[in-house]
Homo-oligomer: A and B are copies of this chain.
């Protein structure tokens, strides 16, 4: 039997070790950029995306080392979006993951460059992983596409445009699809590619990813209202203060919570064919509903 907290911690540590090895030492010249790169990357993130890539991979294989660099590249890409999003140019956030944001500590110039570095580095890592060339090329194309101007950046754009305005359900779904869902689905797909899973497995697990991804976002919005800062890590009430479009603001708290509960039920049902091997993913699904941070 898996204990989720322990399993997440173990896999998080594997990712942290991998990231640490990839990154330059803090005392290498010019030091400051290396420190800035490490700041947000090691600021205690949940490593949800790498965890998804790893646990998906482990439905089909137990050679966990094979997925570590791939999962790290995804986390780097994700971390870049956090650093740039927090900049005064966009959200001007002072706290993230319970710590001061990168630009608050290192200045906006270094934070900007640290974010930029993580984009290029994530791509570099994918060129070097021990997988067939064709798989590497596919992963790079998809990572670029899902995170680029048609994907993640599109979602950030739509999010910025929606601020302070009346947002429709359709627009909210559009923002979520681009800003969050794509990278979660990518993590799952990368887990499948690395394990050479079949295309029907990929389709099924992507659907799983979509459901837990949306549930995760809804719960994140709820935590922004109900959470406690010392647990949640971010500034509480920021969404409301900035008039951000959120699930509770459009569907109300009760309906939002119900949506999340149903999504998690549907997500878990999709894992049936994998039996006991899916234990970690099942526990993770439940955790999304109950997490306090």
A interface residues with partner B (beta carbon < 8 Å):
24, 30, 32-34, 37, 80, 84, 87-90, 103, 108-113, 115-117, 119-121, 123-124, 127-128, 133-134, 136-137, 140-141, 143-145, 147-150, 153-154, 156-158, 160-161
Contacts and interface: CB of A to CB of B under 8 A. Distances in A.
Given A89-B89, A113-B156, A124-B141, 11 more contacts: A30-B161, A32-B157, A32-B161, A80-B116, A90-B108, A90-B113, A113-B149, A120-B147, A120-B149, A123-B144, A127-B141
Contacts of A110: 157, 160
B127 A133 contact: no
A17 B160 CA distance: 30
A154 B120 contact: no
Contacts of A143: 120
B109 A149 contact: no
Contacts of A127: 137, 140-141, 144
Contact of A148 (B88, B103, B117, B160): B117
B137 A134 contact: no
B123 A157 contact: no
A109 B89 contact: yes
Among A103, A108, A117, A137, residue most surrounded by chain B Cβ atoms (within 10 Å): A117
Contacts of A160: 109-110
A103 B80 CA distance: 20
Contacts of A119: 116, 119-120
A236 B111 CA distance: 28
A150 B121 CA distance: 10
B149 A37 contact: yes
A150 B124 CA distance: 12
Give me the 7 closest cross-chain CB pairs, A-B, nearest first: A124-B144, A117-B149, A89-B108, A120-B148, A127-B141, A133-B133, A120-B144
B141 A112 contact: no
B148 A124 contact: yes
A89 to B, nearest CB: 4
24 contacts: A24-B149, A24-B150, A30-B154, A32-B161, A34-B149, A37-B149, A84-B113, A88-B89, A89-B103, A89-B109, A90-B109, A90-B113, A109-B160, A113-B149, A116-B153, A120-B149, A121-B144, A123-B140, A124-B141, A124-B145, A124-B148, A127-B141, A133-B133, A140-B140
